[in-house]
Structure 1
């Protein structure tokens, strides 16, 4: 499972998402940037910054 926390890119933002695939996490993060943070143009560098911050989520021990 992959996880992205927006606060690692936009300080103070509590939004996060997770999905099995990095591509889906990236897609959701880009949509969040547009809808919440008013980013009309998502530059390749922004996508790179998002991807740099995607982490593998560790499963909770049972």
Structure 2
């Protein structure tokens, strides 16, 4: 299972998503960026930033 936590990109945001495929996580994250953060146009660098922050769910660093 793969994990994306929006707070790694948008400080303070608690939204996160899990999926088996990175492409599904990117799709969900882009939808979230539009609806929650008002992004009307998601540029390629935003997609790359999302992809760079997707990780295996078990690899979370202890806080």
TM-score by length of 1: 0.92
Match of 1:15 in 2: 15
RMSD, matched Cα: 0.4
Larger helix fraction of residues: 2
> Offset at 1:12?
0.2
Structure 1: segments with no counterpart, 5+ residues: none
The higher radius of gyration belongs to: 1
Q: How many residues are matched? A: 58
Q: Which runs of 4+ in 1 moved over 2 A?
A: none
Structure 2: segments with no counterpart, 5+ residues: 59-63
